[in-house]
Structure 1
Amino acid sequence: MTTRINTFLLDVGQVLVALDYPAALRSVMRYTQLPGEEISKRMSGNQAVLLYESGKLPTQKFYEITCRLLEMQVSLEDFKRGWGDMFALQTPEGQCISATLFRELKRSYRVVALSNTNEMHWEYLESVFPLIHEFDDYILSFRVGTMKPDPVIYRAALNCAGCAPAEAFFIDDLPVNIQAAEELGIKGILYQGEAQLRADLLRLGLLEPTARL
């Protein structure tokens, strides 16, 4: 690389924190008579999720829409707790980026969260996942008003970090998001587990060879 990388843009879900969709489904089933298959079907076509993650629906409205859609009888507070069950905070070693590798990156780079997320999920992570507070800054879809792979959110991340596209390195678990970043001149790599990421960063000269997990 001819231009020195000074900023890492990190996705959060499935990169720093694992997602547990079955656990989230079980939480919903506590408050509705609908079978799991029907819940999944209705949620897959629920445009309110995209609007909520884009910051175009307030939490109260999203809660009301989802309760009607899934025929749920649940308080807002219990709904929030169940919504947070999507995150698996205890995962097998190497599935997500560890605190060790995260802090190795922090020693040499500015590290910015670049995540499609929503207000409830983010508030939950802030309350239970201490590492989330160690980012240098945050570009979150519900705050920016749009989601990856929209170029707008990548430009917002570059502006936030104060860097050029060639000075940023993006890690995400979805190929479409990597492609969108690279079309803007941001080097990206698909996350496929911590061991593979470490090997890739060493190969690219972005991590010290002496670093250990």
Structure 2
Amino acid sequence: MTGGLNVVFDIGNVLIAWDPRALYRKIFANEEEVDWFITHVCTPEWNLEQDRGRSFAEAIAEATARHPQHATAITAYDTRWSETILGPISGSVEILQTLASQHTPLYAITNWHQDKFRETRDKFDFLKQFRDIVVSGEEGLVKPDPAIYRLLLDRNGLDAASCLFIDDNPHNVAGAKAIGMQAHQFITPELLRSYLDSLGVLK
């Protein structure tokens, strides 16, 4: 068990802004078409299977079989995936860097396809601040499965109660709490900073 508080971040939409709609606004004529595509074709549930480790080749084939008229747009989810990454969330990255400067032990658990994460990791130096990152696609596990949180704990000899988990998804926050971690739902960097200040974590 480590001493003190270990801070465990989600990455997508906490530290790095991600939005597939940003890509599909370039492909479709209006927001209604974008919403329909995300709701019926390349859905969050479909994307979660890539986060679980399914290959993009298999995913594209599956979606194209369902909606062959949208083959080009479906393929773009893979070939133009970098256009769904909108860049760092600067306020959150500043918090991360402050915590790192204070020698706070930093970890991450992210739902992210293994290959796409490797591409992304090379672009953002602040991801090097983490002692360990559990990537769902590498493990075949996705949040909020209790096993993915326990994997981080077991791999690093951490006690759940000594960890604060930060995630934008309330289901993932609940999953962390269910195994005994402290957890906070991320909404904005300002609210996160205020919360950490209230705990006395930021100095």
Q: Same fold by TM-score, threshold 0.5 exceeded?
A: yes
Describe how 1:1-213 pairs up with structure 2 within 5 A: 4-27=3-26, 29=28, 35-43=33-41, 45=43, 47-55=45-53, 57-70=54-67, 71-73=70-72, 80-89=78-87, 94=91, 97-98=92-93, 100-106=94-100, 107-208=102-203
Could you tell me which runs of 5 or more consecutive residues in structure 2 were left unpaired when the two chains were aligned. Answer: none
- How many residues end up aligned between the 2 structures? 197
Contact 1:28 1:82 in 2 (8 A): no
Contact 1:7 1:161 in 2 (8 A): no
**Counterpart residue type for residue 102 of structure 1:** L
Structure 1 residue 194 displacement after superposition: 1.6
Q: Deviations over 1:161-180 (max 9, x none)?
A: 21111111101112221111
SS state of the match for residue 144, structure 2? coil
Structure 1 residue 50 displacement after superposition: 2.4
State the alpha-carbon separation in 2 of the partners of residues 151 and 16 from structure 1. Answer: 22
SS state of the match for residue 104, structure 1? helix
State the alpha-carbon separation in 2 of the partners of residues 73 and 168 from structure 1. Answer: 43
Structure 1 residue 111 displacement after superposition: 1.1
TM-score, normalised by the number of residues in structure 2? 0.82
**Counterpart residue type for residue 80 of structure 2:** G
**Counterpart residue type for residue 144 of structure 2:** P
- Alpha-carbon distance change, 132 to 81 in structure 1, aligned in 2, over 3 angstroms: farther
State the alpha-carbon separation in 2 of the partners of residues 166 and 20 from structure 1. Answer: 32
- Alpha-carbon distance change, 80 to 130 in structure 1, aligned in 2, over 3 angstroms: farther
Structure 1 residue 29 displacement after superposition: 4.3
Structure 1 residue 90 displacement after superposition: 5.9
- Alpha-carbon distance change, 73 to 5 in structure 1, aligned in 2, over 3 angstroms: same
> Moved runs in structure 1, 4+ residues, more than 6 A?
none
**Counterpart residue type for residue 193 of structure 1:** T
Identical-pair percentage: 23
State the alpha-carbon separation in 1 of the partners of residues 154 and 38 from structure 2. Answer: 37
TM-score, normalised by the number of residues in structure 1? 0.79
Structure 1 residue 146 displacement after superposition: 1.4
Could you tell me which runs of 5 or more consecutive residues in structure 1 were left unpaired when the two chains were aligned. Answer: 209-213
